Each structure stands twice: as structure tokens, then as C-alpha cells.
Structure 1
Amino acid sequence: MLVFLIRRIAQSAIVVAIMSVLVFTGIFAIGNPIDVLISPEADEAERAAAIARLGLDLPMHEQFLAFAKNALSGDLGTSFVHGVPAVQLVLERFPATLELALLAMIIAVAIGIPLGIWAGLRPDSKAGKIIMAGSILGFSLPTFWVGMLLIMAFAVSLGWLPASGRGETVEVFGIPFSFVTADGLKHMILPALNLALFKVSLVIRLARAGTREVALQDYVRFARAKGLAPRRIVGVHILKNIMIPVVTVLGLEFGSVIAFSVVTETVFAWPGMGKLLIDSILLLDRPVVVAYLLVTVLLFIVINLVVDLLYSLLDPRIRLGGAKA
């Protein structure tokens, strides 16, 4: 296990270094934030002073070296617009995105696995066919369009749920969360459903494929022959084995839910990292965009490591610390 962890940390460091170069080059080579930050009526002296203050007068390689040196100490730059550390802005919005992503994944698992198992056990039934048709819709419908439909139906027409914002929050260890209040939960339901739609369809298909494969295995047939209750067969023999690929995929998908919740957060005005990213792109606030992307890279790396560890726990045949790890 220790060898595996050391190897993965070394690989992660290489990935972070490569992504730092790509992100910095891609973001800082596009556009000129001075055009957005400085009044069009400013004279050349004011423009030159602003450019020098932001360090944009230096050659690209010198800007990157300064960025890399500061990044090693956790400083990813200061926001051009807000005048505070970019990492601070991103991390302040992270709890809002995290709790929304967690609720979306809980919804996806709670709905997708039972429906997928049902469709896998009864693939030719009418219910099984309806479930699979619904999963195709989940893959096909645009997220922003579904979000607007949810707002029109449940917020505007019925008035059951709020259409935007985060609602009332309570600080837990100094971090504000919405899920601990009734008003906060009401504000979370629509964006979480919208964010979970694609993942529900994915989980249904994974669970269905795994169920159909596992149901044909000898140990399942033997369990049926012994007269075990169907509920026990599904809960012990089928569910445990289909969870291995589901956990692997969902771990990676959890990172994508956090990283790519931009559309949902924009539609529902959810004050998370995704909305911050859109606002920063519109204002050409380069340090915030870079900080967001690098925090996302680190998040994916950590999630990959956790998924590998969970995989070994679900399948004891895997030995992470062995020669083939």
C-alpha cells in the first residue's frame, strides 16, 4: 500500500506540473484584461501603470516562472477584479458546489441503482423498457433546458420551490452550508435534480449491465437453487458485485459533477465555483480562472486515489501494493 501511495503521489505531481503549464499558457495567452478593467477613457500612462501593477508587462515565460514560484507556496495570484487571493475566492465558493454535487450524487445512486437492477432482472418487461427509454432521455436532454423547465414547473407555475439562490445557511466549523436548514434544502432540490439527471441515466445503465452479467454467474444460480430469498440474492450476491464498476465510475463522475456544474449553477444562480468561473471569464479575471482549473485538477487526482482505495476494499483480489500495482 505504501509503495502504491508513493507512486501515485509522484504521478500526481507530474500531472499537476504539466497541467499548470497548459492552464497558464492557455489562459494568459487569450485576451487582454486591461480592456475590461480599465476605463476606455483612460490615457496611456494609466494603462501602462495598470499593466505594470498586474505584471502583464513581463514576457510570458517570466510571468509563468513567477506564477510557478508563488504556486509552490499556495499562492495562485490575486484576483484582478476583487483584489483578494484567487484561491481564497475559489475555496469560499467550494462548499456550495460540494454540497450540491453530493446531493446530486445521492439522488443519482438512490434512483439509478434500484431502477438499473430492476431493468437488469426484468429486461423484457414493460417497466424495464420504460426505464431504459428514460435513461436515453436523461443522456439526450440539454442541462440548461431541463433546468429552465424545472424552474417553470416547480417555481413559477406551482410555486413549490425557489428558483434561484442558496437560501438560509448555517455555519459548520466556520463553513456555511445550506443542507442543514429547511430553507436551504428547498433551494437545493431543483439544481441538484438538474445536476443529477445525466448521472441517474449513467447509473441506471451501469447497474443494468452489471446485473445482467452477474445474474448469469454460477454463484447466483447456486444461491437460487439453495432457495435463498430473492431479496437476499439481490442484496448480497448481485448488489455487492455490481458496485465495483459503479463505484469506480461514480468516483470519477463525482469530480466531473463538481468541475462541470457551471451550467446548473448559472441557470439557478447558485453561488458556487461554477458561477464564479463564468463571472471570471466574462471579466477576464485570469488568476481566478487559473486557480479554479488547478483546484479542479487536484480534486480529480484526490478522487482517483480514493477510488483506487475503495476498489481494493470492494475486491480483495486486488493488491495495490503488489508488484503489478
Structure 2
Amino acid sequence: MTAAVVRRLLQAVMVMLAMTVIVFIAINVIGDPVDILISPDADQIERARVVQALGLDLPLWQQYLRFLWAALHGDLGESYVYNEPAIRVILERLPATLELAVAAILIAIVVGVPLGLYAGLRPDGILTRVIMTVSILGFSLPTFWVGLVLIMFFGVQLGWLPSGGRGQTAELFGVQWAFLTKDGLAHLILPAVNLALFDACLILRLTRAGVAEVLPLDFVKFARAKGLKETRVIGVHVSKNIMIPVVTIIGLEFGSIVAFSVVTESVFSWPGMGKLIIDSINVLDRPIITAYLMATVAFFVIINLVVDLTYTALDPRVRLQGEGP
């Protein structure tokens, strides 16, 4: 087990190294930040001074080596806009995005898994047909449109929930969290529901498919033949055997929510990393863009490792690649 984890960690390091090359090259072909940072009326001397100060006068390979050396020491550059270390700016916005992502994935699990179980156990029921039809709509509707509808209905027409911002926060472990206050929790509901819609439908359909596949198997028939209660058959034998693909989707979708919550954060003015990256792209703030992309890659690598380890906890028959019998 330990050897397999170490092997995965080494693979993660190689992935991160490869991503530094991809990210660095991509960032350097999207435009020249000097055109945005200095006034159009600036003379060539002023422009040359800014270029030299940013290290943009060096060959690309030297810029990459400087970037890699600094990154190994935890330095991803200083934001052109905020005049602060880019990683600090990202970490300041990370709690808001994590809070939104955790709330969204919890809603998706609480809604998707029970409805998927019901639909799988009663495939021909009228309610099941309604559930599956609604799930198709959940896949099809654009996130930004759903967000605007939620704002118009619950925020403007009914006035039940705030339509933007994070609201009041409270400190826990030195970090500000919105869910700890009533006002912050009210601000969290709409963007979390908006983000959860697609994932809830995905988990629902995957759970239903797993139940439909597992129910006819011999071990389920044997458990029922032994006289076990239906709740135990479903809660233990069926649920445990459908959880591996569900856990995979939950892990990957959680990473996707953290990385790609840009639209929702923009629609609801949620002050997380998604809104930050949009603002940074508009002004070509390269250090912020780079720090965001590297943080996202690191997050996905960690989630994949956690999902792999969760497999073995759910089913001891599953072994990490390379682990002995």
C-alpha cells in the first residue's frame, strides 16, 4: 500500500512538472501584458524598463527556468494588478470557492443518490419517469441561464434570497467562512444550487444505472433468499457495489466545480477564484493566471489520489495499480 502511494505521488510530481511547461507556454502566447500595464503614451524607454523589470526581455527558455526555480520555492510571481504574491491572492480567494464547491457537491449527493436509488428500484414508476425527464433538463440547461432564472425568481420576484455577493462571514481556524452566519448561508444557497444541478443529475443517472445493473446479480438474489430485510439488501449489498463509479464521479466533479465555477461566480458575484481568474485574464495578469492553473492542477492530482485510496476502503478487492495481491 505504501509503495503504491509513493508511486502515485511520484506520478503526481511528473504531472505537475509537465503542466508547468504547458501552462508557461500557454500563458506566453495569449498576449503582451506590457500593452495593458503601461500607458499608450509611454515612450520606448519606459516600455523597455517595464519589460526588463518583468523579465520579459529574456529568451523564453530562460524565463521558464526562472519560473520553475521560483515555483519550487513557492514563488509563482507577483501580481501585476494587486502588487502581492500571486499565490497569496489565490489562497485568499480559495476558501470562498471551496465553500461553494463543498455546498454544491453535498447538495448533489443528497439529491442525486436517493433519487437514483428510487429510480433504479422502481424503473417503471410514474415518479421515476418524471425524475429521469427532469434529469435530462438538468443536463441540457446552460448554467448561466439557470443562474439568471434563480436570481429573477428567488431574488427579484419573491425576494427570499440575496442574488449576489458572499454576505457576512465568520472566522474559523483563521479563515473567513460564509456558512457560519445566517446572512452568509442565505447568500450561499442560490450559487450552490446552480452549481449542484448538473452534478445532481449526473449522480442520479449513474446511481440508477448501477442499481439496475446490480439488482439482477446472484449475490443480491442470494441475500434476499436468506431472508434479509430489503433495507439491508439495498443499504449494504446494492449500495456498496455501486459506490465505486459514484465516488469517481463525485471526486472528479468536485474538482471540476473548484476549477470551473467561473460562470456561477461571475453570475452571482461570488468572490472566489473563478471571478478572480476572469478579471485577471482581462488584464493579462500572468502570475495570477499561472498560480490559478497550477493550483487547479494540484487540486485535481490530490483528488485523484484520494479517490484511488477510497476505492480500497469501499471494496478491499480493489488494489492500487502496482500493489501486490
Shift of 1:148: 0.4
Given that 1:280 and 1:288 are in contact with CA atoms closer than 8 Å, whether structure 2 keeps it comes out as: yes
Aligned 8 A contact 1:34 1:50 in 2: yes
Q: Given residue 294 of structure 1, which amino acid in structure 2 is its aligned partner? A: M
Deviation at 1:130, TM superposition (A): 1.1
Deviation, 1:46, is: 1.5
Deviation at 1:288, TM superposition (A): 0.4
Aligned to 1:194: 194
Which deviations, in whole Å up to 9, do the C-alpha atoms of 1:100-124 show, x marking residues without a partner? 0000000000000011011111111
- Alpha-carbon offset, residue 38 of structure 1: 1.0
Q: Hey, what does 2:185 align to over in structure 1?
A: 185
State the secondary structure of the residue aligned to 2:171.
Answer: strand
1:300 aligns with 2:304: no
TM-score, structure 2 normalization? 0.97
Structure 1 residue 17 and structure 2 residue 17: aligned?
yes
How many pairs does the alignment contain? 325
SS at structure 1 position matched to 2:160? coil
Please provide the CA RMSD for this pair.
1.3
CA contact (8 A) 1:224 1:233 kept: yes
2: distance between equivalents of 1:323 and 1:196? Answer: 35
Matched to 2:241, the amino acid is N
CA shift, 1:60, in A, is 1.1
Provide the residue aligned with 1:4 in structure 2. Answer: 4
Q: Deviations over 1:217-271 (max 9, x none)?
A: 2222223233333222221222222112111221111111100101100110000
Q: Does residue 159 of the first structure (1) align with residue 124 of the second (2)?
A: no
How far the C-alpha of 1:321 sits from its partner, in A, is 7.6
Q: Whole-Å Cα distance in 2 between the matches of residues 44 and 324 of structure 1? A: 64
CA deviation string 1:156-178 (max 9, x = no partner): 11000001100110111111111
User: What is the rounded CA distance, in whole Å, between the counterparts of 1:243 and 1:6 in structure 2?
Assistant: 25
> How many Å separate the matches in 2 of 1:102 and 1:180?
14
The one-letter code of the counterpart of 1:305 is L
Partner of 2:49: 49
CA distance in 2, matches of 1:94, 1:256: 14
The residue type paired with residue 50 of structure 2 is: A
SS in 2 for 1:278: helix
TM-score, L = length of structure 1: 0.97
Matches within 5 A, 1:1-325: 1-320=1-320, 323=323
What's the secondary structure of 1:171's corresponding residue? Answer: strand
Moved more, 25-34 or 194-203: 25-34
- Deviation, 1:86, is 0.5
Identity %: 59
What does the per-residue CA deviation read over 1:6-43, in whole Å, with 9 as the maximum and x for residues that have no partner? 11111111111110000000012221111111112222
CA distance in 2, matches of 1:321, 1:22: 27
Q: Distance in 2 between matches of 1:324 and 1:198?
A: 38
Measured in 2, the distance between the counterparts of 1:39 and 1:322 equals 57
CA contact (8 A) 1:2 1:321 kept: no
Report the AA paired with residue 297 of structure 1: V
Is residue 116–residue 203 contact of structure 1 (8 Å, CA) maintained in 2? yes
Conserved 8 A contact 1:3-1:321: no
The alpha carbon displacement at 1:323 in A equals 4.1
Contact 2:81 2:285 in 1 (8 A): yes
1:287-315: per-residue Cα shift (whole Å, max 9, x none)? 10010000100101111111011100000
- Amino acid in structure 1 at the alignment position of 2:291: A
Alpha-carbon contact 2:33-2:283 (below 8 Å) kept: yes
202 and 295 in structure 1: CA distance in 2 versus 1, 3 angstrom threshold = same
For structure 1, which runs of at least 5 residues remain unmatched after alignment? none
Shift of residue 277 of structure 1?
Answer: 0.4
Worse overlay, 49-58 or 101-110: 49-58
Tell me how far apart the structure 2 counterparts of residues 5 and 233 of structure 1 sit (CA, whole Å).
33
Shift of residue 207 of structure 1? 0.5
**2:4 and 2:323 in contact (8 A); partners too:** no
Query: Match of 1:176, SS?
Result: strand
Helix, strand or coil at the partner of 1:228? coil
